[in-house]
Structure 1
Amino acid sequence: MIRRVKYSEIDFVKYTECIETSVQRNWYTQKDILDQLSGNWHILVYGNYEAVMPVHMYRKLGINFVHMPLFCQQFGVFSKTDNPQINDQFLYFLKKNYAVFFYLFNQDNNFSVELEKRKNYVISTCDYTVLKKKYFKGRKSAVKSSQHLVYKEIELDDQSLLFFKNNFKGLEKQSDWDKLKAYLSFLSKTKSLQLCGAFFNDSLINLAVLIVDKHQLLLLSLINDENYKAENGASFLIDRILNLYIHEKSFNFMGSNIRGIEIFFKSFGAELREYYFLENKFLKRFS
């Protein structure tokens, strides 16, 4: 049976154990991360924490909606074995008891009913020389033409934040930019942030923002100065990161349903990992 557990009543020892030993384990469901990005979350629980599902609440027009926190890609059900029948119970409970604005399950959740899907791309840990043979022909050419650039791992400081603000797209609200800065600061303090830059004539022209997890690197953002698009800095950066780290950590591109970005991810030999989601399209039109 599924039950709702308020934040103040969560057994975080059992919750953390369930998350850490689950086959679906991901970055976003850790308590500290949810506290940072949500601030208003609770969980649904099956049995004695045999399976758990984090839920973020968002208040709009005086109504509480289930939503995804900014910068979170996947939530869903977490358990030692993914069980579609148990997942169905979570899904039914969610739809019956909440106004769902937007909720993303994870790539390892399966259901007996068909849901809409989103796309993600992942490169598993492997030998870089083997991986490079899987690059698309055009990507190999772009990487080859960008070898005049210089790769540096840099700190989060006023200069890198200025590059963020001048070139980051998609954060129209000042409050969203403030949340991003706070999140970056949090990641930096917890030693979970890695900033990888491509430099041209000593100028930063591309920046890969990575979240460093135990077994994977997650691409939070790839920021480009459009004035230097011809230098192929984005291809240079991803290739260099894979060269340095893919033998020890998998690489999660964090998904995109924009065709051009999707092809860019695939061109590095990444594999498709689809995940299900719920969305109220009527509410979205008025958000």
Structure 2
Amino acid sequence: MIKKLKYKEIDFSRYSKCLDQSLQKNQYAKKEVLDVLCESWELLIYGDYEFVMPIPIKKKLGFRIVIMPLFCQQLGVFGPKSNEEIELQFLNFLQKNYRIFSYFFNDKNLITQNLKKKKNYFIQKTDYQLLRKNYFKGRKSTVKTAQYLNFKELKAADFLDFIKSNFKGLDKKGDMDQFFRYMNFLESENTLRLFGSYKENDLTNMAIIIDDENQFSLLGLINDEQYKSDNGASFLIDRILKEHIHEKSFNFMGGSIRGIEVFFKSFGSVLQEYPVLENSKKDLLKNFYRK
């Protein structure tokens, strides 16, 4: 049986224990991360925190709507194993009790009932030389031609102007403000890493990385377009993999846009698909008076 808990009703020690011991464990579902990224959130539980499912909530025109927050890629059902029957119970409860604009499950959830899928690309911890053999031929060549660039680790506070000037995809000021709040949070948690590629003294590209236990996750890849021909993005990702893939896996955190997908695949990454529940604004309005 599924039960809904408001934020103040959640036993966070049990919630964290369930996440830590779950097959689907990921960084997005951590309490501290959800507290930063969500306007508010609550929790669905099965049994005595045997399985859990965090639900991000945002108020629109006085109504509470389920909507995935920026920079939160996968939530869904977490528990000791994958269980399609239990996941279906969570899905049915979600659809009956919430107004849903968007909700993303995780790549280990089995549920597929009338759900679309989004793409993510991932590289397991491995030996760099073995990984290099799986690079696309064109990527190997591009990386090789960019070896005149220099690789440095950066401090976030020194490069905020570069981020503001070159970050693509965040058109709203509020979205950029949220991005910097998230960066500040990650820095306070000692999980923020920034790497840059330089052409002589000029920063050409920057990778913003979440360093979470045994995994690197690519939060942002920022490129100065005037140096596009120098292939700094390829150089930068390759160098990070060369330095760290033997000790940490690498999560590209996306890949549904064709050009970006090909770029991520070209480093020998593997596809991870995850189910998503999305409604158009029109469909949402039809069900606006649901509880």
Q: TM-score, normalised by structure 1?
A: 0.97
User: 2 CA distance for matches of 1:284 and 1:90?
Assistant: 21
* Poorly superposed stretches of 4+, deviation over 6 Å: none
Contact 2:112 2:275 in 1 (8 A): no
Instruction: Identify the residue that residue 103 of structure 2 maps to in structure 1.
Output: 103
Contact 2:2 2:89 in 1 (8 A): yes
From the superposition, tell whether residues 175 and 90 of structure 1 become closer, same or farther in structure 2 (CA, over 3 Å).
same
Question: Where do 1:68-147 residues align within 5 Å?
Answer: 68-111=68-111, 113-147=113-147
- Whether 2:211 is the aligned partner of 1:212: answer yes
Instruction: Identify the residue that residue 275 of structure 1 maps to in structure 2.
Output: 274
3-state SS of paired residue (2:156): coil
Deviation at 1:62, TM superposition (A): 2.0
Instruction: Identify the residue that residue 163 of structure 2 maps to in structure 1.
Output: 164
Instruction: Identify the residue that residue 256 of structure 1 maps to in structure 2.
Output: 255
1:118-163 deviation line (CA, Å, top 9, x unaligned): 0000000100000000000000000000000000000011x41101
Deviation at 1:186, TM superposition (A): 1.0
CA-based RMSD of the aligned residues comes to 1.3
3-state SS of paired residue (2:253): coil
Deviation at 1:255, TM superposition (A): 1.1
Gaps of 5+ in 1: none
Figure out how many residues of one structure are paired with residues of the other and give that number: 285
Paired AA for residue 104 in structure 1:
F
User: 2 CA distance for matches of 1:10 and 1:168?
Assistant: 36
Instruction: Identify the residue that residue 195 of structure 1 maps to in structure 2.
Output: 194
User: 1 CA distance for matches of 2:144 and 2:70?
Assistant: 36
Contact 2:121 2:252 in 1 (8 A): yes
Deviation at 1:208, TM superposition (A): 0.4
Instruction: Identify the residue that residue 17 of structure 2 maps to in structure 1.
Output: 17
Contact 1:85 1:112 in 2 (8 A): no
Deviation at 1:29, TM superposition (A): 0.7
- Whether 2:33 is the aligned partner of 1:28: answer no
From the superposition, tell whether residues 203 and 257 of structure 1 become closer, same or farther in structure 2 (CA, over 3 Å).
same
Deviation at 1:114, TM superposition (A): 3.9
Deviation at 1:216, TM superposition (A): 0.5
Contact 1:23 1:81 in 2 (8 A): yes
1:196-232 deviation line (CA, Å, top 9, x unaligned): 0001111111000000111100000100001100100
Deviation at 1:39, TM superposition (A): 3.8
Deviation at 1:284, TM superposition (A): 8.6
1:20-71 deviation line (CA, Å, top 9, x unaligned): 1101000011111111111400100000000000001011122111011111
Percent identical among aligned pairs is 52
User: 2 CA distance for matches of 1:111 and 1:188?
Assistant: 35
1:79-131 deviation line (CA, Å, top 9, x unaligned): 01010000000000001111100000000001262411000000001000000
Gaps of 5+ in 2: 286-291
From the superposition, tell whether residues 218 and 283 of structure 1 become closer, same or farther in structure 2 (CA, over 3 Å).
farther
